[in-house]
Amino acid sequence: MTRITGVRVHDVRFPTAAAGDGSDAVNRGDYSATYVELATDGPLTGAGFTFTNGRGNELTCAAVRALAHHVEGRPLADLWADPVGFARSLSADVQLRWLGPEKGVIHLATGAVVNAVWDLHAKEAGKPLWQLLADLPTGKLVGCVDFRHITDALTPADAAAILDRGRDGLDARRAELERDGLPSYTTSVGWLGYPDDKVRELARSAYADGWRAMKMKVGGEPADDLRRARIIRAEIGPDALLMMDANQVWEVDEAIARTAALAEADPYWIEEPTHPDDVLGHARIQRAVAPIRVVTGEVAANRVIVKQLLQAGAVRVVQIDACRVGGIPEVLAELLLAAKYGVPVCPHAGGVGLCELVQHLFAFDYLRVGTSLDGRMVEYVDHLHEHFTDPVRTRGGRYVLPREPGYSATMRPASVAEFRFPDGPVWARSGKPG
Amino acid sequence: MTRITGVRVHDVRFPTAAAGDGSDAVNRGDYSATYVELATDGPLTGAGFTFTNGRGNELTCAAVRALAHHVEGRPLADLWADPVGFARSLSADVQLRWLGPEKGVIHLATGAVVNAVWDLHAKEAGKPLWQLLADLPTGKLVGCVDFRHITDALTPADAAAILDRGRDGLDARRAELERDGLPSYTTSVGWLGYPDDKVRELARSAYADGWRAMKMKVGGEPADDLRRARIIRAEIGPDALLMMDANQVWEVDEAIARTAALAEADPYWIEEPTHPDDVLGHARIQRAVAPIRVVTGEVAANRVIVKQLLQAGAVRVVQIDACRVGGIPEVLAELLLAAKYGVPVCPHAGGVGLCELVQHLFAFDYLRVGTSLDGRMVEYVDHLHEHFTDPVRTRGGRYVLPREPGYSATMRPASVAEFRFPDGPVWARSGKPG
């Protein structure tokens, strides 16, 4: 019987700020991971992480240490028998909970630890995580969902009905994903830090590589946003999808006006138009800018926020995040909530390793929950995959379905050593972070 | 010209968990403070803190260190000239913001630092903070309010109108507060960790001391909640106010049923009936349990949540917190939002030093914003005041208006030394935290 014997955490930071990669209206950082390794008394090591933006990664690392006593010494079989009880032992810790509750540093760290446990579950089963989940009987899957504070919108019976329906046609959907891969869109074309020529060249090259959906950042000067939107639209033609991402920079009324001013470039969606906690604000924006879709979720603090976005009709696409919330039990709750309300899920990715994680969530969602590819895409950002032992692969604008056992979260030891902050060679050479 | 020369942070923890003080449906901790001292090149030292619940206080301390570069070396006059710009240099830091945004560990730490700067502003003016604020011209006060992401509910013009009206009768209200003190209620009677006899004796003794409003914790077993409610109601008679606090433990539908089951004890309000992020849930509960008031706010992450609680009619009393949000500029936004929507503010207190802080906010709110005492009370908990150099004083169930310059946030050096974790004598003797 496998037992978890120790929790190691590494502060890993990549010096991306200087290049302008990942720059948007409110963020300019060094893409970083709070990287967790769970040692066991067997041959397996669990890997999980949360993504941060540079400075402050030491806080999520310290939060992992504060949570470690909930996992150290635990038999893996016990955590598998009661996955929600385990996840809540972290998120409802009687002292640490005050620091959230279920949000911010403490919840990011919870996600890293819980995800690392699920990496172990999948490795022990010898399956990629998407398959471990998709193969589970409905009763067991329902027992993996954190329903706390969402039962007014989604009951265990609702979840069971959705997951049972998801068994119909499962084999055909799986064969389809294995053959065709996962539909996706690319965010690598239009960071705010990039000059026009680079944006044009990237859009052209993404189109040539088969991408038919791509995202640009907005929220800078109105004239700059519109000029860049026209450049990309000219490159990709009228049929490809162009998404726009404001990264929370606008007031509610401003979001409505600014989205209208960009309508000529035919945005498929406007992402994070205002503060991520503003459910009612998003609802008002969605009513005003329809048929343009309002989407958000990459920093939705927890399932209670996602529940309300759906209840209020505030979004037409939900962007779940693999690390922002408390790991698989909470992600499952969000996928099922979206299915209950009939809203497609397009997971947030990018950063460090988020693409590696969300491909599993997307595949499971298609196989057992959402069961449609209509309006569903995984985000893709072409950064930092080389640091993972089982990196995402894309072919013609689609993700290739992952095959290796686990959650694809394992980083290469050489990368951890090279980029560890502050003692890794990269930081020792370059000095202070951006 | 005073300049801030350094930021010191102390991890101060009081071993309250063992006594059952502060125990409720979801928290059982060692009341703690992330205590910040701002050294200057002059005679003044600024003090500020955020309250935490024991383990994890090291995280908010580390977050203060991560934010310190935004304040070190800054002339105090610059921070006074642009108080919102300064506060947002912390809350909108392009790398740290990802860890919230504006919530959890990073925002608790922001509150501690920004409040310490306001303690310096008040000390430099030689006034208690409530008076510094109440004396300011409307234009300057409006310039101290963080309106970001709330302008759909409160504009600077709205705020100016409220604050201008607040000048009428100001002198009379101030004389009233100086003569009569601040109305308050006590939460020291009914923690879940206390046995019935202790609850009965505390209710009786609080009533004898002049308290006519007191709060009990609920959210345990239904029969226990009702039995304790009957005990307190029997002691305090039909006219005194009995508040009930569920500390977020219920689902939305459960909250409605459980509140109905306690109605025979005539609760004045039901506090934190469900998850603090659930604006729509609170709105549904408020509609169902009226005329019992739904109240929340002590862990409302930021002004965007408070805005929505008001927009949705989800609460009939707002409980602002002095340390949960990003300091005075955000607290001012919350006070003004409540005034705009005509909802009274009853600040959250207790913990470590929260009473010391919120008395200033309550007095300012009465003097310039809410301008009525109808339905307004400060929470009072009789714990840990002896560790402050300017502790709250009460007389006949009311706070005495504070007089010393500053924000009453300064802890006694001997207390900091005694309770510092893990090296203070208390912790060196007692060993590990609860």
Per-residue pLDDT, B252:
98
| B146 CB burial (10 A radius; 0-12, 13-18, 19+) | buried
Cβ pair B98:A56 closer than 8 A: yes
Q: Are A318 and A343 in contact (CB under 8 A)?
A: yes
Token pair, residue B7, equals: 């930021």
Q: Are B242 and B259 in contact (CB under 8 A)?
A: no
Contacts of B312 in chain A (CB under 8 A): 280
Q: Please name which of B244, B301, B258, B255 lies closest in space to residue B276, comparing C-alpha atoms.
A: B301
Q: Please name which of B230, B97, B84 lies closest in space to residue B147, comparing C-alpha atoms.
A: B84
Token pair, residue B361, equals: 């906010």
Instruction: Report angle CA A423, A424, A427 to the nearest 5 degrees.
Output: 85
Contacts of B432 in chain A (CB under 8 A): none
Contacts of B30 in chain A (CB under 8 A): 95
Q: Are B49 and B13 in contact (CB under 8 A)?
A: no
DSSP letter, residue A396: S
- Give the nearest partner residue to B99 out of A105, A149, A433, using CB atoms: A105
| B368 CB burial (10 A radius; 0-12, 13-18, 19+) | buried
Per-residue pLDDT, B12:
98
Cβ pair A105:B63 closer than 8 A: yes
Q: Are B214 and B206 in contact (CB under 8 A)?
A: yes
Amino acid found at A79: L
> Is-catalytic flag, A217?
yes
* Residues near A145 by beta carbon (within 8 Å), at least 6 away in sequence: A84, A156, A159, A329, A332, A333, A336
A23, A67, A95, best to mutate vs chain B, most B CBs in 10 Å = A95
- Using CA atoms, how far apart are residues B347 and B327, in angstroms rounded to an integer? 14
Cβ pair B59:A105 closer than 8 A: yes
Q: What torsion do the CA atoms of B146, B152, B153, B154 make, to the nearest 10 degrees? A: 40
Instruction: Report angle CA A312, A318, A320 to the nearest 5 degrees.
Output: 125
Cβ pair A105:B105 closer than 8 A: yes
Per-residue pLDDT, A20:
63
* pLDDT of chain A, 434 residues: tens digit per residue: 899 999 999 999 999 887 766 667 677 899 999 999 999 999 999 999 999 999 999 999 999 999 999 999 999 999 999 999 999 999 999 999 999 999 999 999 999 999 999 999 999 999 999 999 999 999 999 999 999 999 999 999 999 999 999 999 999 999 999 999 999 999 878 777 789 999 999 999 999 999 999 999 999 999 999 999 999 999 999 999 999 999 999 999 999 999 999 999 999 999 999 999 999 999 999 999 999 999 999 999 999 999 999 999 999 999 999 999 999 999 999 999 999 999 999 999 999 999 999 999 999 999 999 999 999 999 999 889 999 999 999 998 899 999 999 999 999 999 999 999 999 999 988 765 55
Per-residue pLDDT, B137:
98
- Using CA atoms, how far apart are residues A61 and A66, in angstroms rounded to an integer? 9
Instruction: Report angle CA B263, B198, B223 to the nearest 5 degrees.
Output: 35
Cβ pair B62:A60 closer than 8 A: no
State which residue of chain A sits closest to B151, comparing Cα positions.
A251
β-bridge partners, B32 = B13, B52
Per-residue pLDDT, B433:
54
- Using CA atoms, how far apart are residues A330 and A311, in angstroms rounded to an integer? 17
Q: Please name which of A314, A322, A375 lies closest in space to residue A347, comparing C-alpha atoms.
A: A322
A50 sits in which H/E element: strand A45-52
Cβ pair B53:A307 closer than 8 A: no
Cβ pair A98:B302 closer than 8 A: no
* pLDDT of chain B, 434 residues: tens digit per residue: 899 999 999 999 999 887 766 666 677 899 999 999 999 999 999 999 999 999 999 999 999 999 999 999 999 999 999 999 999 999 999 999 999 999 999 999 999 999 999 999 999 999 999 999 999 999 999 999 999 999 999 999 999 999 999 999 999 999 999 999 999 999 878 777 789 999 999 999 999 999 999 999 999 999 999 999 999 999 999 999 999 999 999 999 999 999 999 999 999 999 999 999 999 999 999 999 999 999 999 999 999 999 999 999 999 999 999 999 999 999 999 999 999 999 999 999 999 999 999 999 999 999 999 999 999 999 999 889 999 999 999 998 899 999 999 999 999 999 999 999 999 999 988 765 55
Contacts of B29 in chain A (CB under 8 A): 94-95, 98
CB neighbour burial string for B56-91, b if at least 16 within 10 angstroms, e if fewer: bbbbbbbbbebbbebbeebebeebbeebbebbbbbb
- Using CA atoms, how far apart are residues A215 and A62, in angstroms rounded to an integer? 34
Contacts of A248 in chain B (CB under 8 A): 101
Q: How many CB atoms are located within 10 Å of the residue A170 CB?
A: 15
Per-residue pLDDT, A194:
83
Per-residue pLDDT, B194:
83
Q: Quickly tell me which residue has 């992600």 as its tokens.
A: A331
Contacts of A96 in chain B (CB under 8 A): 53, 55-56
Per-residue pLDDT, A21:
64
CA distances from residue B154 to B168, B175, B306, B371 in whole angstroms, order as listed: 21, 30, 12, 18
Query: Which residues of B form the catalytic set?
Result: 217, 348
CA distance B275 to chain A (A): 6
Strands of A88-227 (E only): list them. 182-190, 213-217
State which residue of chain A sits closest to B280, comparing Cα positions.
A308
Residue B296: helix, strand or coil by DSSP? strand
**Which domains does chain B carry?**
4-128+414-430 (3.30.390.10), 164-411 (3.20.20.120)
Strands A45-52 and A317-318 turn out to be: unpaired
Q: Are B356 and B388 in contact (CB under 8 A)?
A: yes
- Using CA atoms, how far apart are residues A26 and A145, in angstroms rounded to an integer? 33
Q: Are A184 and A378 in contact (CB under 8 A)?
A: yes
* Residues near B413 by beta carbon (within 8 Å), at least 6 away in sequence: none
Residue B36 CA to chain centroid, in angstroms? 17
- Using CA atoms, how far apart are residues B305 and A279, in angstroms rounded to an integer? 9
Cβ pair A279:B276 closer than 8 A: no
Q: Quickly tell me which residue has 């459960």 as its tokens.
A: B254
CA distance A108 to chain B (A): 8
> Is-catalytic flag, A348?
yes
Per-residue pLDDT, B17:
83
Q: Are B336 and B151 in contact (CB under 8 A)?
A: no
CA distance A334 to chain B (A): 15
